[in-house]
Amino acid sequence: MKGSVAGHLILKDWQLYRMPIALSIVGGVMSLAIFQWGGGWEGTMVVGSVWFYVALILVGTMLPLVGIVNERKKQNLAFVMSLPISPIQYTTSKLVSTVGMFLVPWLTLTISGLMLVEARGIVPRGSIPMMLILDAMPFVGLCIITGVALVGESEGWGIAANVFCNSSYGLVWYFLSRVPALMVNTKGPVPVWNSTVLSVLSAEFGSIVLILGLTFYLQSRKRDFI
Amino acid sequence: MTDLAIELSGVGKTYPFFSLDNIDLKVPEGQIMGLIGPNGAGKSTTIRILMGLVHQDRGEVRVLGHHMPAEQVAAKWDIGFASEDMRLYESMTLGWHMSFIQSIYSSWDAAYAQLLLKRFGLRAEQKIKGLSHGQRVKATLLLVFARRPKLLILDEPTTGLDPVARHEILRELTNVMADEGRSILFSSHNTQDVEQISDQITFIDRGRIIDSMDKETYLDRWRRVRLEVPFGIDLPALPGIIGIRRDGRLAVATANEFVPGLANAYESAGARIQCIESMTLEEIFVANVEHSREEVEA
């Protein structure tokens, strides 16, 4: 035997899905370029920021749908499960590979966005906390879709989770933008990490941990895997 | 005592509309067991239980000495599994799949893999989506065979294949068995394939094993006796006869434990023996299933 089979499966997913990851990074970087291209003109800033989040949402949707739902639908799962791996090891490898693959464009684009704000000064530095809150939402969405795709074991559940998440982003953004404690400092010269900002960020990252933990728990209780 | 590659004792699994009942099955090391059953008989469920992918509700499962499903990881290092509903990654080449499997198994035999590529007429650089159904099945089996597993579990691998492809695969399975330590469990509803390569045969129907023994014993014991029976004579009920079909003066008796004394007994009762025919495995299978269903319904 050669090392951990779960490790080989994670590597396999990277090889299979590296193209969409690369494309999402290219798309995100291009959107940032558009954002700063207008030199503060509202039109390019809106287009750039929308495309930036679209790139993150797209990759966060695509990875679990292709890597988990399609793998089952296209009957690749039987091939994977013929390998010396248990269902719970498969779950672990899928959670690690899906979240890991998402983190590459997510971290790249988030750090690039922060650097752009810091270096170019097109938008006030006070917008950084809100920007991070909005950035974390596709991450939460990825975890929801991943969890539902693994536990639900069907294309229908995967699509339902996808629709739920994609229709929720706009609503959540709308409500967050009406929270005065979040918006009051966005035009300021320095980021303000008040308790409301920290609470929302904690809720987002807490739900990521909760969703991944719940997925792992539910998968470990399954008696039939295929 | 012969070591067992597979041992199922009293295994059961209940679904809302199907249940697997009290499955007892033993496959000795070095043997090929053919598992024959109609569609929906429980072959795939049995195999999934063997692979640890479905947990049995009752009973004990041991594969290569490992308890399943608890020790499935240890067991699967030595199991080569292929099923009719298994697919490789369409966007990748066969060569990529070979490298992937080779990276996992130290038992991968690269020279044998190359030999199989030639024998099966496959090209490593070809993407899976460009392969025909037969080529895909052969590609999957190549990945299984080249890792040299101790036990092969094959769930309907020849379904949908043309006769040439089926022949190639069955011939390779025979080659695999050149190593006496290897064992195969081969499920199919194609009795010809099973008859060609199996040492032992198990019939399964409606979630129950209805018969299990070695192939030669099946073929020796089962006979069809064609009789001419004068009007007014009733044929006696004899042990070893599982069914009699009568049409006017002609009757056909099916024996699952034929001995020459059966023919003598019919003659003594006034019937004339027209002929005693051997039965093919398919005929034995159908007669066995029908008899089993009649017994259950009675």
**A62-95 pLDDT tens trace:** 999 999 999 999 999 999 999 999 999 999 999 9
What's the average model confidence in pLDDT over B107-127? 94
pTM for the structure as a whole: 0.87
- pLDDT score for B175: 84
**B16-37 pLDDT tens trace:** 989 999 999 999 999 999 999 9
- pLDDT score for A1: 54
**A12-21 pLDDT tens trace:** 999 999 998 9
**Nearest by CB: B77 against A1, A86, A225:** A1
**Nearest by CB: B55 against A75, A89, A224:** A224
Task: Give contacts of B103 with chain A, Cβ < 8 Å.
Answer: 2, 8
Nearest CA in chain A to B45: A226
Which band of pLDDT confidence, cut at 50, 70 and 90, is reported for residue B196? confident
The answer to whether ipTM exceeds 0.90 is no
Residues 51-70 in B contacting A (C-alpha not used; CB under 8 Å):
51-55, 69
Report the gap between the CA of B130 and the closest CA in chain A (Å). 15
For chain B, give the mean pLDDT. Answer: 91
**B165-183 pLDDT tens trace:** 888 888 888 888 777 678 9
Task: Give contacts of A223 with chain B, Cβ < 8 Å.
Answer: 54-55
Domain ranges in chain A are 2-220
CB contact (8 A) between residue B100 and residue A75: no
SS3 label, residue B185? strand
- pLDDT score for B180: 66
- pLDDT score for B135: 92
What are the contacts of A108-113 at 24+ separation with CB within 8 A?
A108/A25, A108/A28, A109/A24, A109/A25, A109/A28, A109/A29, A109/A32, A109/A52, A109/A55, A109/A56, A109/A135, A110/A135, A112/A28, A112/A29, A112/A32, A113/A32, A113/A52
Residue ranges of alpha helices (H) inside chain A are 5-37, 42-64, 71-73, 77-81, 87-120, 128-152, 155-176, 180-183, 195-220
